[in-house]
Amino acid sequence: MADTQREQILKMLREKSVMKQDVYKNTQTTFDALKDVVKSIAEDLRREVSQIDKRITVEFRFPSDHEIELKVAGDMLVFYMHSNVFEFDKAHPMFKTGYVKQNELNSYCGIIYVYNFLADSFKYNRLQDLGYLISRLFINRENRFFVEAKPPLGYKYSNFSDTEISRDTLKEIVYDLIAYAISFDLYTPPAEHVREISLNEIIERVQSDKMKTGKRLGFKSQTDGNIGDEIAW
Do the beta carbons of residue 224 and residue 139 sit within 8 Å? Answer: no
* Statement to judge: residues 175 and 76 lie in one domain: yes
Helix (H) / strand (E) element for 28: namely helix 18-52
* Statement to judge: residues 117 and 222 lie in one domain: no
Q: Kindly give, in sequence order, each residue whose CB lies less than 8 Å from that of residue 165, ignoring residues fewer than 6 positions away.
A: 30, 139, 143, 144, 145
Please indicate, yes or no, if residue 99 is contained in any of the structural domains. Answer: yes
Bridge partners of residue 137, in order along the sequence: 112, 147
Domains identified in the chain, total number: 2
pTM of the entire structure?
A: 0.81
Tell me, what's the pLDDT at 228? Answer: 37
* Statement to judge: residues 108 and 208 lie in one domain: no
* Statement to judge: residues 95 and 161 lie in one domain: yes
DSSP 3-state assignment of 24? Answer: helix
Give the side-chain half-sphere CA count within 13 A for 58. 18
Please indicate, yes or no, if residue 233 is contained in any of the structural domains. Answer: no
* Statement to judge: residues 127 and 17 lie in one domain: yes
* Statement to judge: residues 169 and 75 lie in one domain: yes
Tell me, what's the pLDDT at 162? Answer: 93
Mean pLDDT by 10 residues, the chain (233 residues): 80 86 97 98 95 93 95 95 92 89 94 93 84 93 93 84 95 95 74 61 59 49 38 47
For the chain, how big is the Rg over CA atoms in Å?
A: 22
* Statement to judge: residues 132 and 205 lie in one domain: no
DSSP 169-209: HHHHHHHHHHHHHHHSPPPPPPGGGTS---HHHHHHHHHH-
* Statement to judge: residues 115 and 217 lie in one domain: no
Please indicate, yes or no, if residue 105 is contained in any of the structural domains. Answer: yes
Q: Please state, in angstroms and rounded to a whole number, the distance separating the CA atoms of residues 113 and 80.
A: 5
* Statement to judge: residues 147 and 210 lie in one domain: no
Tell me, what's the pLDDT at 5? Answer: 84
* Statement to judge: residues 130 and 67 lie in one domain: yes
Segment 102-130, tens digit of pLDDT: 999 999 999 999 999 999 989 988 887 88
Please indicate, yes or no, if residue 90 is contained in any of the structural domains. Answer: yes
Q: Please state, in angstroms and rounded to a whole number, the distance separating the CA atoms of residues 204 and 138.
A: 42
Please indicate, yes or no, if residue 7 is contained in any of the structural domains. Answer: yes
Please indicate, yes or no, if residue 231 is contained in any of the structural domains. Answer: no
* Statement to judge: residues 32 and 113 lie in one domain: yes
Amino acid at 162: D
Do the beta carbons of residue 153 and residue 147 sit within 8 Å? Answer: yes
Tell me, what's the pLDDT at 212? Answer: 58
Please indicate, yes or no, if residue 126 is contained in any of the structural domains. Answer: yes
* Statement to judge: residues 199 and 104 lie in one domain: no
Structural domain of 198: 191-226
